[in-house]
Chain A
Amino acid sequence: MATPDERPWMELDESQAHPLAPAAAPERAEPTESHALALRRRSFLTLAGISASLAACERLPVRHALPYVVAPEEITPGVATHYASTCQACPAACGLVATVRDGRPVKLEGHPEHPLSGGGLCAFGQGDLRALYDAGRLREPAIDGQAASWEDVDRRVAAGLAELGGRPLVVLSRTVTSPTLRSAIDGLLARWGGRLVELDPDAEPASAALEAAEILHGRPLLPALEIGAADLLVTFATDLLGAGPEPVVHTAQWAARRRAADRPPLRHVHVEGSLSLTGANADERWLATAAERRGIALALLRKVAAASPGAEALAADLPAAAPHAARVDALAKELLAARGRSLVVTATEDLAEALAVGWINRLLGNEGHTLDPERPSLVRRGLDRDLAWLRGALARGEVGALLVLGLDPLDQWPDADAIRKALARVPLTIAVTDRPTATASACQVVAAAHHPLECWSDASPRAGVLSLAQPAVRPLFATRAPLASLLAWSGAPLREDREFLAERWKREVLPAADAAAWRTAVRRGLAPEGAAVAALPAARPSDAVAALRAAVATSAAARPADVLEAELIAEVALRDGSRSHVPWLRELPDPLTRAAWSACARLAPETARSLGVADGDIVRVSVGARSVEMAARVLPGQHPRVIGLPVGYGGRGSGDPVEWNATRAASLDGSGRALRRGLSARVERTDRRERLPLVQRHASSEGRPIVFQVAGADEAVHGAHVPEGRDLWPAREPTKPQWHMVLDLDACTGCSACVVACQAENNIAVVGADEIARNRGMHWLRIDRYFVGSPDEPDVLFEPMMCSQCDHAPCETVCPVAATVHSEDGLNQQVYNRCVGTRYCANNCPYKVRAFNWFDNQPSEPVARMVLNPDVTVRARGVMEKCTFCVQRIQAARIAARAAGTADLPEVQTACQQSCPARAIHFGDGASESIASRRHAPRAFQALADVGVRPSITYLARVRTRAAGAPSPHDSQGGHS
């Protein structure tokens, strides 16, 4: 298999000569059996006779798998083709390389040349591949619930649009990152008259920050963050590294900055109420409710302003009192000492807080250094005031037609019933979606959309960055690209998405002189350097001082101290829930709660005690008149007054026991804005329980030498080194290479991208909630999570755990049939077809990384099986399996090296390593420079080194930089369960 750098990416240029297999409806995708019969004369005559008599019988329907009669030049059966594209699972639009085998994409990886995302790709983006093959996808368009043809759909829409009678057509969409799609929407709206309303259904609010940016910088666009330029990062309840707006980009920046050896270590202070991945990775974490966060931000601004010449007046209007007063003082001093090298970020619904943070950055001179308002981020554009307008217009019956692009407001808005009623009164409602959603069922026309991997598109997640998306597979069903639908309805002359895109790029993006520019752009998946990028709206700055004063004056309503506060949060696996039907993502355990499949309300240990609630007890959380019920999960590090409710679960058709998306617990304020944070909540215990599908039930390392954190990058780990004892094993002549992996726990954020990458690469079965609850997950790679310190404010440590390919592997000695053996290059091999399933190896594994096939777990639907990687055996029932260090990739590299006649192995990237946005995984020959230097770094340690199995995985301890005077992070022992 080729790695992206050595083999050029292919272009899907002419759709007529599409090089992909005609893999259409599942029945056609089913392969026929091909027997290479060695016929002798007699058997031939026998068969001929039988055939002749059978030919007279009734004809059976023929099922074809059509071979290439004239094979496209660039396709070799069994050899992967790689297509550069753009991920469209969320607006962050990371670069993507799709690995395509015989016409079907089998793996999505990050695009190493993408200027923002680098080579990383998050779990959510990788899960999008599995959504392509989802059996529940819409397969054809529908009108009023009846299957229809695309001609009928276009006629119906055209007729509806012709009768608007002056009322507006409203297009409701997620933030549109594609300039081409935006221009098509503009074209449609210009033709019929109307308005685009963008809405971000995330748990993390962006609207207030957008408004603050509008006031401060003149445009409702978030300044782009440059974490790499910061020495001090202060974040307020924004999950930059987890489920935030651009997790891959921010994680890559954050980890690269932490690695930078030539600069002082990055200090990261995080303020939040509900434990997030970002909080878990911060050096220092303050617990604060929403109101307290506002107070802290304002107090910080007051201190900063007081020390900033010319801004003293600003300080006078701000409240002085704040929670964590001593820490605020110290932090303000640190910020002032890091002028131009600090960065403060917030995700809030409070305009005062957002403005205060903007002001702090401005006063510290961070603008232009650590954040860039001139080349802003374009991934969040949903303004609550637009939404409020739409709500009002719908309620008043002023909307002539509503076109919902991908979103599911009926599931994602708090007042679903009101919306449903309002929708019924809109003369024309159209849903463009690839899944049956609640909104689609309430719309007249459902324009079944292509999956993004079947579409042409582009994306611009940041001003100046433009990438291209090309299809990796022929459409599986009778669906149509959303772009093509919009073009059809706007009566544009160009109706093909690809033509429209190419024409627009040639006109506006690509240099006119270069005729091959389009082909190059498609091949690279990126606009050429220095290409023209879309102009931003003109900046219209306003009086930021007055705005701050006004915002501060509208004080948040005081809350009685005994009321709990609900906060809607997003998890890395499901985010907003738009892909909650993807089995890989459902099976992915949350890195903090370690629960898969199931939504659970996160409560602090103290809160759980006072409510008399334990893990799995169903609690009813009521916000105003609405309530959600979900299982409780006691989570150390949670603010005792804050309950975290994950959104994204309980969507229609997701099969969740709770048929409620927690978003609906959001409360609407007077202007119709949906509030997600600081909601006054009542929590009651019900008498029901759920067996939580937890993959980890014990949170402490029990003082064992498993995981460590240190106070500085040069500090050595204590207690992990074991004196060399006498070795009873026969010495083996070391051969080259000896594969070794180094995992940098200081870079690892627990984002779980590697877990999904491993699942996709290695055909790991999904077993479902029941089996996970029985501790029978099949993941080869899991991320263990340990709490260190007090249960109220613990440090969180993540530790990816997979087969350590031990030199003295205890599994190998005990297998009676030699189904697990050691290879020359240091791999512990599992021979699936030799395994009889005694499970002795798994029992004897100190790391418990072996997974047993208790049942037949692989999907049976033909569409779902299309995702399987043909390079990796699909394991049968009764067989043990485990991480192989991606032996298929090692073998491919070996074969390539042999073919090329070179002695040196080309670099091998494991799937987990490739996907890691933080570049926390290093893999190669243990003696090579890059691995050996890390293996002998001061922070290096091996988990359970004292057992003496000699693992081939080395960890580098987490570095936690404390403020001067704070307790050192040394006591990584201890903890609690």
Chain B
Amino acid sequence: MSASAWTPDRLGPAELWPPGEREPLVSDSLDHGEVTRALVAPVEGRPGKGWWIAFVTAVTVLVMGFSLIGWTVYKGIGTWGLNRTVGWGYDITNFVFWVGIGHAGTLISAILLLLRQQWRTSIARAAEGMTIFAVCCAGLFPLIHMGRPWLAFWMFPYPNSRGSLWVNYRSPLVWDVFAISTYLTVSLLFWYLGLVPDFATLRDRARGWRQKLYGWLSLGWDGSARTWQRYEKACLLLAGLATPLVVSVHTIVSFDFATSVIPGWHTTIFPPYFVAGAVFSGFAMVMTLVLLTRRLLHLERFITMRHFDFMAKVLITTGLMVGLAYATELFIAWYSGSRYERFTFWNRAFGPYAWAYWLMVFCNVVVPQVFWSARARRSELVLFIASIFVNIGMWFERFNIVVISLHRDYLPSSWSHYTPTLVEVGILIGSFGLFFTLFLLFVRVAPVVALHEIKHTLALQKEGAHGTH
């Protein structure tokens, strides 16, 4: 790695680059061999101290979380802080939060691929992995939030011997089952397809059982022009298929709320609002994750500040969209003339959970404004702190929708309060344990940056530099 004279410090803000010349996405000094060596190192080498610390921590948290899930299943949902009025709390908040995070991967790999945004290459693999792990975490919550989780398979329409029992197709929860499982399937396929050429590279470099494993995983990749051509086509097709899913999944999740009768849930703005929020939270999580991975695996040459610059711009844009949605909600609540609607939004802003509402507004609307500054967009510290804030803010957005709408709905006599128990908090933390455990295992099994795409980007970059531009 010392072979390169390149250092991150040489990359300043974009405006420091001479006019007519574009800042490179990845370090120019890299050659293909270096790219391969640098990116497969974490997979082929022994894990460093940093990885072990992170992994042991994540697994510990995971075990704690799953023990608490076991406790919940053993004792009953009563171990949570829910009550007769507030039937959903952390469970569904966490579900929507993780589904939202699961959004960025497909957005980056599918939509940005279709839009030919080359900067996606460095972060797409990590984002796709994050998507899959986030969807796993998300899927956990609808399962364990059930009173009788051992009957969860009843949510699927399968031929059964219970008379004519079938699922209720009018229920948005059933739509969720389809939406999430479709999304998970397509994301997995897309992710795996992208990994095939890199698995082939790993196969070619490996010996022994690893060679066998990667040989099996790379599905007989031969690197011929024909294979490449078909591969590119398949990617494009899958991207086309995945693109509507980016919009559909969170739209359908938003239907859980939008099709209900509860003021604060029953809102037509929810589908676009949820999709914008999902992109927002997904990018924030990608940012957090990539900032950490980059440091941990020394990928500064591949994931450059220019990538973060792009991501910060996405964040500020979607942040503004989310802010617009908040303002629209308030306006429509007033404009609707419905006393329930008006009260619900008054209660969000000034009721007992006002702190959660204003925390959300601060994290999601105020904090991203820092990215108007180019310096902030290229400061790792600012980026990291801001992305954490957005993660927190987006969790609270879901908390506000789920809990604040429920705790004071139509009948004042049944108004109540919700305070989570340690079990619920523990399960939320445990889901992060699951997420990071999976992610840390992933970086040891596959290159976290797509080798072939970086090489492609390098080639394009060089073409551009020597071209007529």
**Which A positions have Cβ atoms within 8 angstroms of B?**
696-704, 706, 771, 774-777, 784-786, 799, 801, 810, 813-818, 834-840, 842-844, 846-848, 850-856, 876-880, 943-944, 947, 949, 977
Question: Does B168 sit at the interface, judged by CB under 8 A?
Answer: yes
* Complex Cα–Cα for A785 and B170 (A): 35
Contact, CB under 8 Å: A834 / B165: yes
Contact, CB under 8 Å: B87 / A836: no
Complex interface: chain B residues within 8 A of A774 (CB): 81, 83
Contact, CB under 8 Å: A775 / B83: yes
Q: Distance in Å from the Cβ of A58 to the closest Cβ of chain B? A: 36
User: Which of B81, B170, B411 gathers the greatest number of chain A CB atoms within 10 Å?
Assistant: B411
Q: Distance in Å from the Cβ of B447 to the closest Cβ of chain A? A: 40
Complex interface: chain B residues within 8 A of A854 (CB): 76-78, 82
Q: Distance in Å from the Cβ of B113 to the closest Cβ of chain A? A: 34
Can you report 10 A-B residue pairs in the complex whose CB atoms are below 8 A from each other? A696-B413, A697-B417, A702-B343, A813-B171, A816-B168, A836-B148, A837-B147, A838-B147, A855-B75, A855-B76
Contact, CB under 8 Å: A775 / B412: no
* Complex Cα–Cα for A706 and B82 (A): 25
* Complex Cα–Cα for A835 and B151 (A): 9
* Complex Cα–Cα for A943 and B410 (A): 10
* Complex Cα–Cα for A836 and B316 (A): 41
Complex interface: chain A residues within 8 A of B259 (CB): 813-814
Contact, CB under 8 Å: A816 / B88: no
Contact, CB under 8 Å: A697 / B155: no
Contact, CB under 8 Å: B147 / A698: no
Residues A839 and B147 in contact in the complex (CB < 8 Å), given A698-B412, A813-B170, A848-B411: yes
**Which 9 A-B pairs give the minimum distances between C-beta atoms?**
A837-B147, A878-B147, A854-B78, A839-B87, A848-B414, A775-B83, A816-B173, A784-B413, A818-B168
* Complex Cα–Cα for A846 and B416 (A): 14
Complex interface: chain B residues within 8 A of A776 (CB): 78, 83-84
Question: Does B236 sit at the interface, judged by CB under 8 A?
Answer: no
* Complex Cα–Cα for A696 and B172 (A): 31
- A-B pair number, CB within 8 angstroms: 162
Complex interface: chain B residues within 8 A of A843 (CB): 87-88, 260, 262, 406
Residues A877 and B85 in contact in the complex (CB < 8 Å), given A814-B173, A844-B261: no
Question: Which residue from B75, B147, B154, B260 sits with its C-beta under 8 Å from A880?
Answer: B147
Q: Distance in Å from the Cβ of A953 to the closest Cβ of chain B? A: 13
* Complex Cα–Cα for A853 and B76 (A): 9
* Complex Cα–Cα for A818 and B149 (A): 16
**Which B positions have Cβ atoms within 8 angstroms of A?**
75-78, 81-85, 87-88, 142, 145-149, 151-152, 154-155, 165-168, 170-174, 177, 256, 259-262, 339-340, 343, 406, 409-417
* Complex Cα–Cα for A700 and B412 (A): 7
Question: Which residue from A696, A703, A877 sits with its C-beta under 8 Å from B339?
Answer: A703
Complex interface: chain A residues within 8 A of B170 (CB): 813-814
Complex interface: chain A residues within 8 A of B416 (CB): 697, 775
Question: Which residue from A810, A816, A839 sits with its C-beta under 8 Å from B174?
Answer: A816
Residues A784 and B168 in contact in the complex (CB < 8 Å), given A776-B84, A852-B84, A877-B147: no
Question: Which residue from A698, A771, A880 sits with its C-beta under 8 Å from B415?
Answer: A698
Q: Interface of chain B, helix or strand or loop or mixed? A: loop
Given contacts A844-B261, A846-B262, 20 further A-B contacts (CB under 8 A): A696-B413, A775-B83, A776-B84, A816-B171, A816-B173, A817-B155, A834-B154, A839-B145, A840-B88, A840-B173, A842-B84, A843-B406, A846-B410, A846-B411, A853-B147, A855-B76, A877-B76, A879-B148, A880-B147, A944-B410
* Complex Cα–Cα for A876 and B262 (A): 28
Complex interface: chain B residues within 8 A of A837 (CB): 77, 146-148
Q: What residue of chain B has the Cβ atom nearest to residue A778's Cβ?
A: B84
Contact, CB under 8 Å: A702 / B412: yes
Question: Which residue from B256, B410, B414, B417 sits with its C-beta under 8 Å from A696?
Answer: B414
* Complex Cα–Cα for A801 and B85 (A): 14
Contact, CB under 8 Å: A852 / B147: yes
Contact, CB under 8 Å: A814 / B260: yes
Residues A816 and B260 in contact in the complex (CB < 8 Å), given A702-B343, A852-B84: no
Q: Distance in Å from the Cβ of A232 to the closest Cβ of chain B? A: 33
Contact, CB under 8 Å: A816 / B83: no
Q: Distance in Å from the Cβ of B310 to the closest Cβ of chain A? A: 39
Q: What residue of chain A has the Cβ atom nearest to residue B415's Cβ?
A: A698
Q: Distance in Å from the Cβ of A571 to the closest Cβ of chain B? A: 19
Complex interface: chain B residues within 8 A of A877 (CB): 76, 147-148
Complex interface: chain A residues within 8 A of B154 (CB): 817, 834, 836
Contact, CB under 8 Å: B171 / A704: no
Contact, CB under 8 Å: A836 / B261: no
* Complex Cα–Cα for A879 and B147 (A): 6
* Complex Cα–Cα for A706 and B154 (A): 37
Contact, CB under 8 Å: B410 / A847: yes
Q: Distance in Å from the Cβ of A655 to the closest Cβ of chain B? A: 20
Contact, CB under 8 Å: A947 / B83: no
Complex interface: chain B residues within 8 A of A813 (CB): 168, 170-171, 259
Contact, CB under 8 Å: B409 / A846: yes
Complex interface: chain B residues within 8 A of A816 (CB): 155, 167-168, 171, 173-174, 177
Contact, CB under 8 Å: B76 / A856: yes
* Complex Cα–Cα for A225 and B168 (A): 58
* Complex Cα–Cα for A836 and B147 (A): 6
Q: What residue of chain B has the Cβ atom nearest to residue A703's Cβ?
A: B339
* Complex Cα–Cα for A702 and B414 (A): 12
Contact, CB under 8 Å: A836 / B413: no
* Complex Cα–Cα for A697 and B414 (A): 8
Complex interface: chain B residues within 8 A of A775 (CB): 83-85, 416-417
Complex interface: chain B residues within 8 A of A840 (CB): 87-88, 171, 173, 256
* Complex Cα–Cα for A852 and B172 (A): 20
Q: What residue of chain A has the Cβ atom nearest to residue B407's Cβ?
A: A775
Complex interface: chain A residues within 8 A of B171 (CB): 813-816, 840
* Complex Cα–Cα for A514 and B78 (A): 62
Complex interface: chain B residues within 8 A of A784 (CB): 411, 413
Complex interface: chain A residues within 8 A of B343 (CB): 702
Q: What residue of chain A has the Cβ atom nearest to residue B408's Cβ?
A: A698
Complex interface: chain B residues within 8 A of A834 (CB): 154, 165
* Complex Cα–Cα for A836 and B146 (A): 6
Contact, CB under 8 Å: A818 / B148: no
* Complex Cα–Cα for A72 and B166 (A): 46
* Complex Cα–Cα for A814 and B261 (A): 10
Q: What residue of chain B has the Cβ atom nearest to residue A840's Cβ?
A: B173
Q: What residue of chain B has the Cβ atom nearest to residue A702's Cβ?
A: B412
Q: Distance in Å from the Cβ of A799 to the closest Cβ of chain B? A: 8
Residues A810 and B412 in contact in the complex (CB < 8 Å), given A836-B146, A843-B87, A851-B84: no
